Structure 1
Amino acid sequence: MPDTQDRFGPRFERAIALIDEANAPDPVTIEVDGRDVPKELTHARMLTAWVERLLPEPSEALLLAARAHHIRRWESPRDTFPAGRRGYLRWRRDLQVRHAAHARAILEECGYDEDTIGRVERLIRKETPKRDPEGQAFEDGLTLVFLETQLHDFALRTEPETMVNVIRKTWSKISPAARELALASDLAPEDRALIERALA
């Protein structure tokens, strides 16, 4: 991100490096371009890139939140919470709090002010107002990363009708710009067909 680093300076560059360093040991990997890479490190970089495409000048706080949104997520696996939807929602909320706390610790170490840190925390915890453009870009980027890296495998283990409902619900949350980017993405034919079915 040379342009972004030039815009925000060495403190931003150091924070990004520390966040990436925290995510690098992820034992969970995904395949990208034929290589196995740490999942959360890769997702964080992808979300950063999507946010930069969605907004012409994303704020420093938004880029920091994008990079730290799932920091060290593997430390709190799903099976440490009860099964079922209530357990799932508790797990998700706990993750948001954990990720925000991790981000705060790094940003404090880098010398960020409380306003910036608080903004990063609210973005990670999804506590921004509905009409907040950066909150929307954050949500859009998360969805685009999901479509790019997780939709296919998720669809393989999920009933088709359930997937259709998931896609419809997700589609209602993202912006028109994100919808265009999603449809222009390099999706597997079966994934594209699933999305088209959900939108029909």
Structure 2
Amino acid sequence: MNNKVDAVFEKIDKINAEDPNKEIVDGSEVPKEWIYGRRMTEMLTTYKENPSVELQIAARGQHIKRWHIPRSEYPMDRKGYLKWRTMLKIYHGELLSSLMEEEGFGSDSIAKVVELVNKKKLKTDQESKELEDVVCLVFLKFYFHDFAAQHPDEKVIDIVQKTWGKMTEKGHDLALKLNYDVGDLALIQKALS
């Protein structure tokens, strides 16, 4: 089974390496969604011992080829944002389905990955909750500092509270153990008080 997972990871990484959007990591420019997928896998490994194959693939492929559906193609309001996110989830699920089919995964396994990336059972499914924890932890560890620097404190506090509300107790515990910049930590503490 690991060979099949590795093959899917390789295909996801190859697609995400085409991302025209870049991020600087350790002084080098890397494709944004490529590094995001790898960070998701890294965080999942920290978060859970022996995650299911489906959870591993959903984590790595959660943003597969995300740049293909730009945010700018939808109205810049809440309704437009939600429509964009819905279209992305469907698109990611379709891409992951086809990669998994190519590697011989069964229909139940494929359906589970699609369910996870579509976040259909966020309130009721344990693995959906775990994936959401990993998403939130990756945001807090790798993206929160830049996000906080670009937005007013009130918006940052609101986002922290919404992020926290999506997480489980286990997610909260791990989030509190991350290393934060002093200013970022102050904002997080303010949001949680």
Which of 181-190 and 79-88 deviates more?
A: 181-190
- 2:88 maps to 95
Separation in 2 of the partners of 1:129 and 1:21? 29
SS at match of 2:89: helix
Structure 2 spans left out of the alignment, 5+ residues:
none
- The Cα of 1:52 is off from its aligned counterpart by 2.1
Q: 1:129 to 1:95 in 2, by over 3 A?
A: closer
- The Cα of 1:96 is off from its aligned counterpart by 0.4
Q: List per-residue Cα deviations over 1:41-79 (Å, max 9, x = no partner).
A: 111111112222222221001101111100000111110
Of the three residues 50, 53, 56, the one matched with 2:43 is: 50
Q: Which amino acid aligns with 1:148?
A: K
Identity %: 37
State the Cα RMSD in Å: 1.3
Separation in 2 of the partners of 1:192 and 1:144? 14
Contact 2:122 2:129 in 1 (8 A): no
- The Cα of 1:9 is off from its aligned counterpart by 2.7
- The Cα of 1:33 is off from its aligned counterpart by 2.4
Separation in 2 of the partners of 1:129 and 1:184? 24
Which of 14-23 and 44-53 deviates more?
A: 44-53
- The Cα of 1:163 is off from its aligned counterpart by 1.3
- 2:109 maps to 116
Which of 110-119 and 9-18 deviates more?
A: 9-18
What are the equivalent positions in structure 2 for 1:43-192 lying under 5 Å apart?
Answer: 43-192=36-185
Separation in 2 of the partners of 1:30 and 1:75? 17
Q: Which runs of 4+ in 1 moved over 3 A?
A: none
- 2:16 maps to 23
Separation in 2 of the partners of 1:181 and 1:32? 23
Q: Which amino acid aligns with 1:147?
A: L
Separation in 1 of the partners of 2:40 and 2:2? 20
Which of 140-149 and 89-98 deviates more?
A: 140-149
- The Cα of 1:156 is off from its aligned counterpart by 2.2
Is the aligned partner of 1:36 residue 2:36? Answer: no
Q: Structure 1 length normalisation: TM-score? A: 0.91
Q: List per-residue Cα deviations over 1:7-55 (Å, max 9, x = no partner).
A: x332121111111111111111222223222111111111112222222
Q: Which amino acid aligns with 1:121?
A: V
Separation in 2 of the partners of 1:77 and 1:66? 21
Q: Which amino acid aligns with 1:75?
A: H
